[in-house]
Every structure is written in C-alpha cells, then in structure tokens.
Amino acid sequence: MSEPIRVVVTGAAGQIAYSLLYMVARGEVFGRDQPLILHLLDIPPMAGVLEGVVMELADCALPLVREVVPTTDPAVAFKDVSAAFLVGSMPRKEGMERKDLLSANVKIFKVQGQALDKFARKDIKVLVVGNPANTNALVCSHYAPSIPKENFSAMTRLDQNRGTAQIAAKLSLPISAVSNVIIWGNHSATQFPDARSAKAIINGTEKAVWDAIGDTSFLEGPFVEIVQKRGAAVIAARKMSSAMSAAKAACDHMHDWWNGTKPGQFVSMGVISDGSYGAPKDVVFSFPVEIKNKQWSIVQGLTLDDFAKSKLAITSKELLEEKTEAMAVCNAE
C-alpha cells in the first residue's frame, strides 16, 4: 500500500458531497490501493451537519480512509492536499441576479485560491464544480500564482455524460459503446454539446455517431437542447439540483486526470484556453482533452463547420463577459 494522500472536498455538508465522498472513499477515483486522508471544508453554520457526515464516513468502515479532517478553516482544509474537489459555493437564491451570484462566488474562490497558494502541494489537481464553475476556476487560479494554471479545471463532465447517455439511448447501445462526445465552452446553457467526433461500437465495428444516427436536424437541434437544459429538467422533477450524477461526473473527471485517458478516446474538461479552435485565450474553456502522466492536452485537428463555429462564438462571448465581471469584483475588493 502506498502512503496516504490528502484530498479535500469543499461544500462537504452539501448534497453533491454526500454522494461524492462515498465514491472517493471507496477508492473509485485514486485507486483501490491508495489510502486517503479526507479534508472536509464547509462554512461555520454547517459545522454540525459536517459532524454528521464524519460519523457516517466512520460508520461506512472503509479501509482506505485513514483520517477525516472536518474544518471550517481554509488554511486547515488545503494544507498539503494533492487533489481538491471545490464543490462548495453560494447557491442562487430567489430574486438574485446572475451578477449577484457571480459576485458572491468570486469572493469565495478568491479566498480559496489564496489558501491553495499558501498551503496546498504545488502539484495539486483542482476540480471546480461549484457554479459558475469555469469562471470560479479562473479566479481560483488567478489567486494561486505559485500553482501552474494547468492544475485548475472546471467540470463539464456531467454534460458530457448526459450527451453520451442521450446518444447511447438513441442508438440503443450500452453506454460503454459510445465515446468522444464533446462539450465546448462554458458549463451553462450556452455550452455546445457536439457529437461530430463521437464514435460508437455497433456490432463489433467502430462507426461515426453522426453517420450511425444519420439525422443532422436531431444532432443540431433536440440533442443540443436536451443536454443544455438537462440540469433545469432535473430541478423541475426533483425540486433539487443534480447531485448523484454531478458527484459521479466529478469522480470521472478526477479519475481520468489522475489515471489518464484510453488511447483514441478523449474527455471534456474546462481548462485554461490557449486560443485553440478560435476560443478566447485565458478563460477556462471546455475542450476535448487527452491525458497522460496526469497532464492534459487539448485534442487538435478536429473540424468545426459553420454551425459549430457559431455555437462556440456564443459560449466564448459569455465566458469573456463573466471574466470581465469577475475581475471587476476582485479588483474592487
């Protein structure tokens, strides 16, 4: 057995963390032979609930969990951590403008970026789940200049998983037969779910999903909208936002970052943009990436038609607006 690694989950008293902590603690992300010290961060009013989560983790009797550190202090939460799931954020309240939400969350991710900079390992892998995830990741990285920008990412894996599930259902295939669905841009309603590069194994042969479905109007219409609006559909049905599926996607994201992607397959992650595919530079943009030795690289050479380019332009514009608003809040402090 290797030495334990320290993993932090923020928003640890919330609903996504409730599913996420169990999956991480079982060894589904870092491996079934990797012992863990779990750091659980939430805000002071949630300290009591956090104690309950600690009790349940103990009662799960999981062999990989060597220690659990519940805290409301970012300095303790981020001390020597190797991986961070930044789930905790301010939820949107009734009557709250998007701008107010962004402003509240930017402040949280500024503080957490500063604490990561001071206390975390420099090779830490940071996954931001809390919304607005892309811009929160950008702010967090901005305030942690001693950690490489490549070590910060935002989650669009839930959108990718939703898209993959839609394609598998349409083709009546098991989920494992479908790969390379791409999410471009922001984790918001402007994201562009794209099946142009997706592949499916049909009767033992690899085929392009685009040809197998053979219905451009579906792939450019309902498919895109279902994925874009899936979060809202879950809220309408469950009266609460996606939690089990968000936790699973966070595990998938970190698992692939830690362990690498399979040859020929890629996954979508919000990462710092180098301007690939005409995306604006220096925003956290979701791209298709391949991962080796814990380093991601943006998949190059995919063809974007005019429809795809127009969709990328919409989500790019939104990310630039969010960046401007976020930096204005940071600079005003």
Residues within the interface to ligand NAI (CB under 6 A): 10-11, 13-17, 41-43, 46, 87-91, 108, 129-131, 133, 155, 158, 187, 241-243, 246
Asked if residue 301 lies in contact with residue 309, where contact means CB atoms within 8 angstroms, the answer is: no
Q: Which of 23, 22, 20 is CA-nearest to residue 10?
A: 20
| CB nearer to ligand NAI: pick between 171 and 329 | 329
- Residue 138 or 213: the one with the smaller Cβ distance to ligand NAI is 138
- Min dist. Cβ of residue 211 to ligand NAI (A): 29
Task: Give which of 20, 25, 17 is closest to 251, Cα–Cα.
Answer: 20
Q: Which is nearer to ligand NAI, 1 or 240 (CB)?
A: 240
Query: What is the smallest separation between the CB atom of 185 and ligand NAI, expressed in angstroms?
Result: 13
| Active-site hit among 39, 187, 253, 255 | 187
- Which lies closer to ligand NAI via its Cβ, residue 206 or residue 233? 233
Nearer to ligand NAI, 212 or 322 (CB): 322
Say whether 253 is catalytic: no
**Shortest CB 58 distance to ligand NAI, Å:** 19
Kindly tell me the burial class for residue 160, based on how many C-beta atoms sit within 10 Å of its own C-beta (0-12, 13-18, 19 or more).
buried
Please write down the long-range contacts of 46-54, taking CB distance under 8 Å and 24 or more positions apart: 46/13, 46/14, 46/72, 47/72, 49/13, 50/12, 50/13, 53/12, 53/13, 53/17, 53/18, 53/21
For the sheet containing 152-154, what is the strand order? 65-71, 36-41, 5-10, 83-86, 125-128, 152-154, 267-272, 284-292, 295-298
Residue 183 sits at φ, ψ, to 5 deg, of -110, 120
To the nearest whole angstrom, how small is the minimum distance from the Cβ of residue 140 to ligand NAI? 12
Spatial contact of 160 and 267, defined as CB atoms under 8 Å apart: yes
Distance of closest approach, residue 249 Cβ to ligand NAI, in angstroms: 6
Query: Could you list the active site residues?
Result: 187
